[in-house]
A and B are shown apart, each in its own frame.
Chain A
Amino acid sequence: DAKTTQPPSMDCAEGRAANLPCNHSTISGNEYVYWYRQIHSQGPQYIIHGLKNNETNEMASLIITEDRKSSTLILPHATLRDTAVYYCIVIPNFGNEKLTFGTGTRLTIIP
């Protein structure tokens, strides 16, 4: 699995957009970028994933740079319930690959 680098913590004001960066400079051509989050004491929750195009769903948007060496997860209107640890993971798309979690970014939404 390619290594990812994320800032250890970030704050964001409630109602503003939260932009969480991730570096994955050694990503391979067949590897996807996945984002999960873990709200305190709960199991990790899938947010979004992408290969090279930008993606959007009801939870978030994912912006992947053209060289695919970094990405940004965007929570458009952060709420207090978005306070969590966010994990950026790269993983090949074949078989049932294990997820390797790093230390993630602890996002705190400020009222």
Chain B
Amino acid sequence: DTAVSQTPKYLVTQMGNDKSIKCEQNLGHDTMYWYKQDSKKFLKIMFSYNNKELIINETVPNRFSPKSPDKAHLNLHINSLELGDSAVYFCASSQGGATLGYTFGSGTRLTVV
């Protein structure tokens, strides 16, 4: 059983398209995150949600819209995709503060052509 699962694993799309990445966690955690890892391998937080409420938004363009239908799911919708959006996107979850650690998904490699 995968604790944090993301779909799809790979996504290739053309510039200007709209796409979504889904994330689900079965750990019962109350906080979920989206991280972006660019071509230089830097991992940067984009958003976090706690019990379906947005708590962190790291100046991400408003073309990116996270949606959390319940605390087990945090989806990422991206409008008008640009070449610079090409990256690996990781979903993560945590519970009760940092001391209990974060669990990451296996990533979604997005390629915009």
Contacts and interface: CB of A to CB of B under 8 A. Distances in A.
B90 A93 contact: no
Nearest to B88: A41
Contacts of B96: 96
Given A49-B101, A93-B98, A98 B33 contact: yes
Contacts, number: 62
A96 B90 contact: no
Contacts of B94: 96
Interface string B70-113: 00000000000000000010101010111101111111000000
A46 B102 contact: yes
A93 B41 CA distance: 26
Interface residues of A, number: 24
B57 to A, nearest CB: 11
Interface in B15-48: 30-31, 33, 41-45, 48
A91 B88 CA distance: 24
15 contacts: A34-B101, A41-B88, A43-B92, A44-B102, A45-B104, A49-B98, A49-B99, A85-B41, A92-B98, A95-B97, A96-B30, A96-B31, A96-B96, A96-B97, A99-B92
Interface of A: 32, 34, 36, 38, 41-46, 49, 85, 91-101, 103
Which 10 A-B residue pairings sit nearest by Cβ, starting from the closest? A43-B104, A96-B31, A101-B43, A46-B101, A98-B45, A91-B98, A44-B104, A97-B98, A43-B90, A93-B99
